Amino acid sequence: MQDACALALTKWPAEGVPSSPRGWLIGVARHKALDRLRREARRVRLEAVAVRDWPGTADEPCGEAGTVAAADDELALIFMCCHPALDPEARIALTLRCVCGLATADIAAAFVVPEPTLAQRLVRAKRKVRQAGIRLKPPDRDDLQRRLATVLRVIYLVYTQGHMAAAGPDLVRGALCEQAIRLARALAALIPGEPEVAGLLALLLITDARRAARTSDAGGLVPLGSQDRGRWDAAEIAEGAALLEQALTAGRPGPYQLHAAIAACHVQPETDWREIAALYSELARYEPTAVTEANRAVAVAMAEGPAAGLAILDSLGTRLARWPQFHIARAELLRMTGRTGEAITAFRRALDLPLPHPERTFLQKRITELRDARDG
């Protein structure tokens, strides 16, 4: 999501503030990831000519059950793939490959590693499953506790993989979205009362409710603010909201409940930016990343004005200094607060970093405009 966050910060001042940065961020993340996927695929194809190991080993069974049928079996397979005896890096990749049938190239792109590296990781993990005698069985209480975080992340990634494809030319991978929701439901049935499981299911439902509205007739992505709310699935939103409300009463908040709460804010008729900013503050306790802070800065800028958002961006210091979009976002907020000279400097700093040509041209134009406004 890092790319998307930066891009969103870059574009919203220029194209008008989107009514929902968060939703828009998610949309752009898909575009970005898809671009990367295509780039990666082209490069990897060249590298992979000699590395034929994946096609050669693709028929290795993922588990003893081979192919999968019901959600319960799928869940057992996920728990097997998330076995703590496996390399942590391999667990999610193995699940995406064995449970969801994603292509190695797609998984490699999602992890931003070369395809042969990922293929190797998968081969090693499958070999260990077979050689060490890791069994396919329904998870017991102990497994549930120890593997839950990984399993939640896997299901979330399955969903985003489906969602990402929805914006691309490959058309909607709705099957993956539905698979993720089915798995989250199965997990919720297996561990009733676990608030993070309910939180994840709520997040997926509320996000999925907007799936049909996300794609234009021409196949392009429709940002949240421009979506036809009539095409949202009201039943899915209601189910997600009810689940979330129920989960929150447990008094054990966590990242999925918070993401779900933010998603829920974005489907309200009026967006409460203060609430969203507060939710991001809470989220930072679980995901203390610069990206979370940058997201919070967007929400705060929307709620309290550009100066407050700017203060947060500035508090990030040099953590995002190598991100051109960070400087661009700062520049736009500086411009909005009337600090034209500093805005120009910030734009120039972005231009010192590698940027695609169209963005470069756009920034140069922006600097000229600011300079003219100041001098004229």
Closest by CA to 213, choosing from 23, 1, 25, is 23
**Closest distance to another protein from the beta carbon of 52 (Å):** 25
Q: Which is nearer to another protein, 130 or 185 (CB)?
A: 130
376 interacts with another protein by CB under 8 A: no
Residues 77-96 that bind another protein (CB under 8 A): 83, 85
Q: Which is nearer to another protein, 131 or 318 (CB)?
A: 131
Query: Interhelix angle for 104-111 vs 88-98, to 10°?
Result: 140
66 interacts with another protein by CB under 8 A: no
141 interacts with another protein by CB under 8 A: no
Q: Which is nearer to another protein, 101 or 138 (CB)?
A: 138
**Closest distance to another protein from the beta carbon of 330 (Å):** 50
Query: Interhelix angle for 290-304 vs 273-283, to 10°?
Result: 160
Q: CA–CA distance from 358 to each of 330, 351, 374 (Å)?
A: 19, 12, 25
Q: Which of 52, 135, 322, 365 binds another protein (CB under 8 A)?
A: 135
Find the length of the chain.
376
Q: Which is nearer to another protein, 142 or 228 (CB)?
A: 142
**Closest distance to another protein from the beta carbon of 140 (Å):** 9
Q: Which is nearer to another protein, 45 or 135 (CB)?
A: 135
- Contact predicate 94/86, CB 8 Å: yes
- Contact predicate 335/370, CB 8 Å: yes
The residues facing 215 across adjacent strands are 221
Q: Which is nearer to another protein, 138 or 305 (CB)?
A: 138
Q: Considering CB under 8 A, how many residues would be counted as binding another protein?
A: 8
Stretch that binds another protein, among 134-142, 170-178, 316-324, 342-350 (CB under 8 A): 134-142
Classify residue 94 by burial, with Cβ atoms within 10 Å: 0-12, 13-18, 19+. buried
**Closest distance to another protein from the beta carbon of 61 (Å):** 15
Q: Which of 1, 41, 134, 213 binds another protein (CB under 8 A)?
A: 134
133 interacts with another protein by CB under 8 A: yes
Report the C-alpha gap between 257 and 334 in whole angstroms: 34
Q: Which of 69, 131, 357, 358 binds another protein (CB under 8 A)?
A: 131
Stretch that binds another protein, among 19-27, 131-139, 296-304, 368-376 (CB under 8 A): 131-139
Stretch that binds another protein, among 24-32, 133-141, 144-152, 239-247 (CB under 8 A): 133-141
**Closest distance to another protein from the beta carbon of 135 (Å):** 4
Classify residue 311 by burial, with Cβ atoms within 10 Å: 0-12, 13-18, 19+. middle
132 interacts with another protein by CB under 8 A: yes
**Which pair of structure tokens corresponds to residue 268?**
């309200």
Collect contacts of 116-120 with beta carbons under 8 A, ≥24 apart.
Answer: 116/44, 116/47, 116/48, 116/51, 116/53, 118/93, 119/48, 119/51, 119/53, 119/54, 120/53
Which amino acid makes up residue 222? V
- Residues at the contact surface with another protein, assessed by CB under 8 A: 83, 85, 131-135, 137
